[in-house]
Amino acid sequence: MLVQAPYNRHHADWEAQVAGEATRLASQMDEIETDNARHADPAYPEYYGSKINREQLYNGMLLQFEDDEPEGHHSAAFFAREDEVAADLAQKERAEAAAAVHQEIASSMAAPAESGQSLASYPNTSVDLNEMYTGLVQLSDHDNDEDDVVPELNEEV
């Protein structure tokens, strides 16, 4: 059986230096883990607000805070423009509603074929179809199929 002997090639100072670095690294990793745990734990509020630079975070943003007087945040020109936009929108909605009413009236007055309805068909009694189609279409003798153009269709079914 092969037994490995301890490795004795390094000096004692080397071993002490490696052990010291290992201890230092372990303590550094513990600090990082503790710091990360505190960031996620609400019991440590100092990690939430104190490290955020709000000026830099909100630079260039327009923020609107809740207030008792919402009119206090805007100028008279803003409200005038808001009224203009509301009036334009109302006018546009009225025009769309009128166009929809006109479209409905026009579709109800359209010819039945255009709206997809079927047309009523009335026979013309002044035309004799037998006389008109004599010789063109076989109207009366369907039993004798020997006069068909295609010979294969002459066989009885």
Q: What is the per-residue pLDDT across 22-61, written as a single tens digit (0 to 9) for each?
A: 999 999 999 999 888 887 777 776 666 556 677 777 787 8
Regarding whether 78 and 47 lie in a shared domain, the answer is no
Whether residue 88 is contained in a domain is answered as: yes
Total tally of structural domains belonging to the chain: 2
Q: Which residue has the tokens 């372990």?
A: 26
Question: How far lies 109's CA from each of 99, 112, 114, 115, 136, in Å?
Answer: 15, 9, 10, 9, 41
Whether residue 122 is contained in a domain is answered as: no
Whether residue 129 is contained in a domain is answered as: no
| DSSP helix/strand/coil, 58 | coil
Domain limits at 27?
11-61
pTM of the model: 0.29
Residue 51's pLDDT is 62
Regarding whether 54 and 83 lie in a shared domain, the answer is no
Q: What is the per-residue pLDDT across 96-148, written as a single tens digit (0 to 9) for each?
A: 999 999 988 887 776 655 656 666 777 777 777 777 777 665 555 555 556 56
Residue 127's pLDDT is 78
